[in-house]
């Protein structure tokens, strides 16, 4: 098997017999959905390959290649009448550099569209009898010349626009400075180059040649800001039929793993372990309000499968470096008003993030001015792919949003740790204590470190949650490690939930590391009848003798013993399991017990 990691050229994938997940059965559904469509997905989810497939399907110049490219795919059983009946033009805004002045960015956009038009001229030379004029400083004017040429033929134009919001998003991601907003507004507002271009596209649908449009991107922000110039796009990104238009099903992942297993000699048990790893790290996405099978991130999955195929072992680094840019999205949200609270709240499974509905019409001004009571930031996190839909609250129908998997959970944990431990020396000390804990199981030094550092920040209302959730988050952000561990918060164990489990990855069990199970409890200063200063002055033994502490400890001991038994049975007693209870007294002291 050959895995097309980083390849989004449909013709190349099919012609070279690369692994391909067939979604051509969705073509009739796309045609029925409307003529001018907007389809949003997080970056690196397969949008470009989708457009490449459609380009090959509809391109009139590739009619003779239909059987070669599509003959073995689902659409060949019943192709639509529109196949190979269009001129196709493809714009990909992901390559437009967003740095520099507004004038420089606008010129790059003109250059990109004009370059696409020149490719169009070369590709359809034998079909055209009209000389298309390319205006180097006005891509909208060039596009009007294309309309004139298309009108002189029996064919119409299918326009594919990939990552339509990419360079505008990059401008926003650069920060919330006045300069950044000025660059964005120069593209979008009044007669900005992007808005003018989309006005021309809309003009082209009025009998001038454009028959169908499919636009992909990450968020609807730009579409909202240019709505007065382009208000014809139908949003299909939440329709159940298109939940799996991009991304992989688990059955497709499993089939690939089983083929690799034959080559590498993996046992059924090893395949099961690898499937469990991919499920934990890459699965979990839902792009529909209605319940549908969860979707795997395609780029991460191909990264894993290609490495496994080549080396017959799981990649040590589970997060593909090409997806590390998603960290910037979380950083961006954390810098918005009240954004830090939204980022930290995302790790709280007991009180999930909710909203009435995803925002679909909001511009950059609203993002900048958003408060913690609005759905803007949650919606953006969803569109960025770092939150996903997770059902509804039965009582009031509110949508539940959650972090989809461990790869994304790591990005949150890293950002929170950056906010809590900005100093280099503290980060170094934390790393040393964490490594020591992995190997020895000594938890108290880590508790003392959290007392000295995190507790000072947690006392600030920007980070305050309730009871043990604060403490659990402190440990989660410090201990998170996807190189050696499958880490989970609120792990389901026999219909109950453990606060935190750290199970060694099957491929890392060769090392002298320990598995961990942790339960966290919180006792307020009011419950112990002491002031913060009085708590600090007492010894661990004195604090452990307090009635409120002993009550929490007794409850936790019973829970930990039950969770431990379930974990050991599930993993066939392969674990080197260390179990702990951690009790916090206010934001002053941490007490730990090992069971």
Distance, CA of 210 to CA of 194 (rounded, Å): 18
**Angle between helix 406-420 and helix 326-335 axes, rounded to 10 deg:** 50
**pLDDT greater than 90 at residue 438:** yes
pLDDT, one tens digit per residue, over 294-326 is 999 999 999 999 999 999 999 999 887 776 667
Pairing relationship of beta strands 234-235 and 210-217 according to DSSP bridges: unpaired
Distance, CA of 315 to CA of 305 (rounded, Å): 9
What is the reported pLDDT for 463? Answer: 47
For residues 435 and 307, membership in a common domain is answered with no
What is the reported pLDDT for 46? Answer: 93
Q: What average pLDDT does the segment 112-118 reach? A: 97
What is the reported pLDDT for 459? Answer: 60
Looking at the chain, the whole-number percentage of residues with pLDDT higher than 90 is 66
172 within a domain of the structure (yes/no): yes
For residues 187 and 61, membership in a common domain is answered with yes
User: Which of the residue ranges 157-171, 180-194, 503-517, 541-555 would you say has the lowest mean pLDDT?
Assistant: 180-194
Q: What does residue 151 show for φ and ψ, rounded to 5 degrees? A: -65, -20
Q: E strands of 41-173, at which residues?
A: 86-92, 156-162
**pLDDT greater than 80 at residue 592:** yes
Q: How far is CA 116 from the centre of its chain?
A: 29
Distance, CA of 398 to CA of 426 (rounded, Å): 40
Q: What angle do CA 553, 558, 563 make, to 5 degrees?
A: 120
Looking at the chain, the whole-number percentage of residues with pLDDT higher than 70 is 92
The structural domain count of the chain equals 3
For residues 154 and 301, membership in a common domain is answered with no
Task: Write out the residue range of the structural domain in which residue 22 sits.
Answer: 10-242
What is the reported pLDDT for 88? Answer: 98
387 within a domain of the structure (yes/no): no
427 within a domain of the structure (yes/no): yes
**pLDDT greater than 80 at residue 372:** no
Higher-scoring residue by pLDDT: 352, 371: 352
For residues 564 and 587, membership in a common domain is answered with yes
Q: What average pLDDT does the segment 273-278 reach? A: 94
Distance, CA of 45 to CA of 297 (rounded, Å): 6
Position 491 confidence tier, pLDDT thresholds 50, 70, 90: low
For residues 257 and 205, membership in a common domain is answered with no
pLDDT, one tens digit per residue, over 185-225 is 777 776 778 888 999 999 999 999 999 999 999 988 778 77
Q: E strands of 314-459, at which residues?
A: 353-355, 388-392, 399-402
Q: What average pLDDT does the segment 515-544 reach? A: 93
For residues 29 and 178, membership in a common domain is answered with yes
pLDDT, one tens digit per residue, over 2-61 is 999 999 999 999 999 999 999 999 999 999 999 999 999 998 899 999 999 999 999 999
**CA distances for 309 relative to 128, 154, 250, 318, angstroms:** 46, 48, 18, 15
What is the reported pLDDT for 207? Answer: 93
593 C-beta neighbours (distance < 10 Å), count: 16
Of 323, 344, 376, which marks where a domain is finished?
A: 323
What is the reported pLDDT for 494? Answer: 62
For residues 231 and 276, membership in a common domain is answered with no
* Alpha-helix runs per DSSP H in 124-157: 139-151
Span between the terminal Cα atoms of the chain, in Å: 47
Pairing relationship of beta strands 156-162 and 86-92 according to DSSP bridges: parallel
Q: What's the mean per-residue pLDDT of the chain?
A: 89
Distance, CA of 534 to CA of 588 (rounded, Å): 10
Position 173 confidence tier, pLDDT thresholds 50, 70, 90: low
For residues 238 and 265, membership in a common domain is answered with no
For residues 312 and 209, membership in a common domain is answered with no
Q: How far is CA 382 from the centre of its chain?
A: 8
533 within a domain of the structure (yes/no): yes
490 within a domain of the structure (yes/no): yes
């Amino acid at each position: 098997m050959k895995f097309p990691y980083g390849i989004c050229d449909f013709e190349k994938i099919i012609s070279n017999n690369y692994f391909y997940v067939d979604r051509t059965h969705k073509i009739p559904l796309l045609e029925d959905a409307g003529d001018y469509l907007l389809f949003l997905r997080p970056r690196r989810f397969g949008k470009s390959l989708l457009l490449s497939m459609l380009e090959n399907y509809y391109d009139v110049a590739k009619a003779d290649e239909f059987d070669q490219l599509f003959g073995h795919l689902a659409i060949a059983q019943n192709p639509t009448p529109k196949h190979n009946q269009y001129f196709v033009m493809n714009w990909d805004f992901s390559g437009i550099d967003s740095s520099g002045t507004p004038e420089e960015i606008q010129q790059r956009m003109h250059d990109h569209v004009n370059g696409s038009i020149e490719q169009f001229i070369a590709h359809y030379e034998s079909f055209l009898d009209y000389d298309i004029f390319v205006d180097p400083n006005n891509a909208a004017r060039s596009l009007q010349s294309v309309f004139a040429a298309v009108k002189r033929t029996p064919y119409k134009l299918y326009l594919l626009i990939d990552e339509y919001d990419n360079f505008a998003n990059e401008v926003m991601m650069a920060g919330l400075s006045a300069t950044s907003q000025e660059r964005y507004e120069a593209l979008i507002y009044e007669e900005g180059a992007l808005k003018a271009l989309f006005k021309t596209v809309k003009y082209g649908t009025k009998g001038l040649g454009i028959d169908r449009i499919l636009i992909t991107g990450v968020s609807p922000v730009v579409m909202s800001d240019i709505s007065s110039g382009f208000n014809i796009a139908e949003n299909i990104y939440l329709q159940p039929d298109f939940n799996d238009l991009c991304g992989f099903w688990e059955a497709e992942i499993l089939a690939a793993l089983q083929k690799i297993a034959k080559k590498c000699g993996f046992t059924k048990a090893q395949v099961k372990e690898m499937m469990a790893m991919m499920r934990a790290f890459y699965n979990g996405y839902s792009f529909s309000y209605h319940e549908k099978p969860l979707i795997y991130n395609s780029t991460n999955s191909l990264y894993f499968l290609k490495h496994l195929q080549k080396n017959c072992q799981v990649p040590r680094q589970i997060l593909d470096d090409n997806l590390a840019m998603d960290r910037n999205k979380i950083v961006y949200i954390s810098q918005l008003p009240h954004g830090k609270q939204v980022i930290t709240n995302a790790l709280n499974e007991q009180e999930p993030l909710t909203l009435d509905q995803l925002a679909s019409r909001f511009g950059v001004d609203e993002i900048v001015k958003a408060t913690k009571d609005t759905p803007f930031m949650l919606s953006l996190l969803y569109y960025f792919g770092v939150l996903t839909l997770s059902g509804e609250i039965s009582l009031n129908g509110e949508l539940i949003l959650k972090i989809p998997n461990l790869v994304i959970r790591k990005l949150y944990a890293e950002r929170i740790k950056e906010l809590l431990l900005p100093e280099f020396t503290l980060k170094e000390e934390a790393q040393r204590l964490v490594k020591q804990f992995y190997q020895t199981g000594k938890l108290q030094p880590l508790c003392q470190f959290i007392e000295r550092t995190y507790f000072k920040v947690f006392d600030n209302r920007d980070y305050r949650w309730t009871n043990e959730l604060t403490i659990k988050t402190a440990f989660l952000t410090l201990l998170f490690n996807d190189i050696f561990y499958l880490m989970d918060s609120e792990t389901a164990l026999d219909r109950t939930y453990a606060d935190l489990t750290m199970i060694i990855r099957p491929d890392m069990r060769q090392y002298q590391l320990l598995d961990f199970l942790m339960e966290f409890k919180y006792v307020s200063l009011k419950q112990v009848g002491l002031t913060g200063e009085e708590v600090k002055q007492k010894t661990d033994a004195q604090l452990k003798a307090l009635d409120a502490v002993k009550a929490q400890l007794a409850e936790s001991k019973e829970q930990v013993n039950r969770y431990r038994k379930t974990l050991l049975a599930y993993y066939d007693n392969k674990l080197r399991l260390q179990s702990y209870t951690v009790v916090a007294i206010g934001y002053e002291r941490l007490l730990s017990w090992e069971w």
